[in-house]
Every structure is written in C-alpha cells, then in structure tokens.
Structure 1
C-alpha cells in the first residue's frame, strides 16, 4: 500500500508545481515544449527524487533512535547532529572564511556535513572508547544541542541583516538547487546505509528485550548499538547538509507506522523509509503550489503539518489510556 501511495505521489508531484508540465512535452518538439521538458528534467525531477531520499533518511533515522532508546518520542536530532550542522553553517555564513571558488556554491552544504560528521565522530568515540551507555549518550546529545544553539545565537546576534537572513533560510529547510551529480552520490550513500540498517533489524528487535537478555541471546550489544547510532547519525548528516533543518519527519512517521505495522523493525524500518518519502514528497508538492509562484520553506511546512498531528495523537492516546 505504501509503495502504491508513493508511486501515485511521485506522478502527482512530477506534474504539479508553479508551472504544470503536460505529458505532451515528451513527444512534441517545439521550443515551448523543449523548455518545459528541460525544466522538468533538470529542476523538478531531481527535486522530487531528492525529497524521496531525504524523507526516507530522516524517517529511518527516527525509527532507529526510537528503537534504541525504547522511546516512541525519540527524535533524530536527539544526539545533537542537527545542531552541529547549524553551528557549522553559522560559522561559515557569519565569520569571514575564504573558500576555493569550486566550493563557494556548496559552502553551506559542505559546512553542515562537516559539523554533522564531527558530532558523529564524537558520539562514536564516546560510545566506543569511553564505554558510555545510551542514557549517557542522550545526556551528551542534550548538552551538545544546548551548547551549539547557544553559540549559533551569539553568532546570529553579531551578524548583519544579509547573513542573518541567509542563516534563517537555511534553518527553514529547502530542497532547491539540487543537481543530478550530488543527488546520485547522496542517494547511493543513503540507500546503502538504509539497506545495512534493515539487515540489522532483527538485532534491533532483540535489543528491545534489554541489554542483558540480548547478550545472552548472542548479540554483541555494544557493537550493534554503535553501528546503529552511527548509521542514524550519518543519515541525518547527509540529509541536513543538503536540505537544511527539516523537523518532525523522523519523529511522526515511525510513531504513526508503529500503530499500523507494529514494533517489528523488519517491517517498521522499510515502511518508515516509504512513509518518510511520501510525507516529504507531498509536503514539497504543497510547498511549491500553495503559495505559487512563491515556494514555502519545506521545514516550515513539515512542522505545520507534523506538530498538530502529533499533538492530537499524543492527547488522544493519553485520553484512551485514561
């Protein structure tokens, strides 16, 4: 069912936008049809596929975090990956750092990925060499979030209007300016990580029994937790570095699907990938059409959609439990 919904959403998103693209452009050869086809091929098509892989990455990351911490309210940004990206982008935008001309266009994306990667390496070091428990990593993530966002606030305070606007727009999330080469590279990494995580789904199921029981069942608990944490962090790092901060996809999608497909991660992880792709694809379609010809930042739209829905779910669940 999710595959069918994704295919329908894909066809809908490819045709709808500030400028509709009729199917006749694929066989007509006049200048207007050629222009529409070039726009569709080089702008809309990569954007649509980019929404799919970013949504899948964020949702799978959220599913991993919720499974590891045994908390359906866990979020991909829990470990400070997103705030590390925000800090790196703030440093790149506000401080006078000269870059080679080849990196100027991708300055924000490069900075965001470096920041995410540094936080990921820190988490890996603390988990692997300091023998930290998941609860300690959670506290580490809270501290990283607080520290990074405090520094971002200071940098925003000393920035000028243009720098502040650029930083604010990045923080709202965007799927624009994606090109085929970057899309293909990021898609390969994201799909390989998701495949690797799905292969570990049964181990993640066993971890739900507790560390001691998982150990007695032959699972290397520390190694499995580290691999899953780093995989989740890398998924967030790639998505945030290219698309900016996009909230609620990794929180809402696994939470909703858990009521539908259950807590078996052999089903939940691939379904989360499909559900995240659908949510972000439909959100991007709305972002391109609801205020056309203007485009609403995708991060704002996902929050506007996800926050009320999640609030209703939490209140309804509490009422039912009562």
Structure 2
C-alpha cells in the first residue's frame, strides 16, 4: 500500500428526477470533499495531536461585539465643538444640580413652631397665675379708677344667682326668707310682677354659680341657677359723675361675687391674694371719697337710695377683709348677703334717678 496521502473529491450533479419530498431550505449544493490522512509526506511538518483538537476560528470570521457597543455609546454622547464626545466640558460648581434635594414643607414647620410658641406663652401665663395667687382661685381684676369712660351711662348688672324658691304670696315668701337666714344662709326676696323669688347666692359666671348651688343643695336647700340682669339707664343732665361712680362700683361688685362664691364652696379655708385685696381696698376708698360729689346732682330719692347702696357695698368689702384676717366662714356669708341686697338696692336707684 502506498504511504502517500490521497485525497478524493466527489461531486454529485443535480438529478433531473423529481422527488415527492421537498428539499430543505438550507440544503447545500456544494461538492462533498472527503479527506483522508495516512502518513505525512516528506514535505509536511508533524503536528501535535492536542493542537489539532483545538479549533481556532479564523480572524475574519469573528464578530467583536465590544467594538460595536463602544461605537453605539459614542454615537449617543452629545456632540462638542472639539469633536470629542467623551470629554464634555464641566458646569461651574454653582450651577451644578445637587444630587440630593429635600422638599422641606416650610408652611407646616411654621405652623408647628407657631403652635409651640403660643403654647409656651399660655404655659407661662398659667404658671404666673398659680404663683401669684395663694389660693389658686381665679379672682376678678379691678380696673384702674383713672379709666376715662367716653360713653357714660348707668351700667347693667349681669349676675348668675342661686334661686331657692318662688312665691305668689309675699307674706309667705318673707316668712321663708327669714327662716332661711335663721339657718345661717344668705337670702333675699326679689319682688316680681306676678311672683316673688328667693335668691340664696350670687356669682359672676355660670360655673361658679353651679358650684354655689350644689353647696346649698348639700345643706338641704332645693336650688337652681339662673342668670339675672338689672338693666342700666341713660344719663340725665348732670348725672355723668353718678354714672361713672356706679361703673367703678360695678367692678368692685363683680370682684366680691367672684372671690366670695369660690371661697364659700372650698373644702378648706383659703386666703386672698394680697395685691388684689389691696387694690380692692383702694377702689373702695376712692368710691367712699367721691360719692358725695357724684350724688350731688341726683334728686333726693335717688341720692338716698344711692347712699344706702354705697353703705351696703362698703360693708360687703369690709366682711371680705374680716375673712382674710380670721378665716371665719360666716364672714363669707355676710359678703354674699350684702351682694344679694345690692341687687334690690340697685333696681331702686335706677327706678328713682328720673323721678322729680
């Protein structure tokens, strides 16, 4: 057998015979080459069998996708005048966008801070109130006597009273009032158009009036609270001084009703703020010194009723000072009795100021 390498080529021509089976699309019509190797020729170099097994494709048949991707990215970059897309000029630092942007809700923060400031302010006011008030009671403040009233008129008196009973017969009503006083309770008879009313206590607001009503109820009295008003009147010629005097007296009245109603229902004896008590005494003294001049232009009946009103008011203020000194609960009942009596006397003053 020859030792030479033999190569045989076979080429089959297309048959003209029709076939019932369709030819595949990818069928190749290239000639079939059959190669066989026996022994290398003298001019051929012996190769390593391991190297023959490694298939290395030709360079012209390999597609480099890395170069294509780089080319695609380069095409998407913005064009610059220097022709280099990969080296874009930098923006100035002040025009660069921040990577992290916080959307701060400033209106909400402002509202929260305002609420905190208001809350702190109210806290300070309440704190000062408890420091300055020895008893913790809310005492009505007295206005300065130097207040100038541009619209001078006799003030209306608005109070919350504790009513004990109503009567149609005045004799029976007066008998019940006297019996109530004998028990140690303040009481006064308020005449009405059809009925007579017995008032047991007076306060300057509904809450204090309710507490006072419960106090009398716990001591065997049937009571309820209602608002009572004594309407003021217009000033006649020469009555401006009297109207101003009653306006200042009305402030003293409300202070006395506020403090005495609170102290009466307290479970323990308390004390009045010394500054408030001093202001009360100064106001009373000014009313005492100015009443003769203020009442000088009034008719005789109105002047008489006004002097009686002033004496009752001064007595009630004195009773409050007695309580501050002695802590005697009976002194508070005297204050309340005077305030109830002043309701009747003020109605009589307003009725008589226009009488000739």
Q: Same fold (TM over 0.5)?
A: no
TM value normalised by structure 2: 0.21
Greater relative contact order, per chain length (Cα 8 Å cut-off, separation 6+):
1
More strand by share: 2
State which structure, 1 or 2, has the greater radius of gyration over its C-alpha atoms.
2
More helix by share: 1
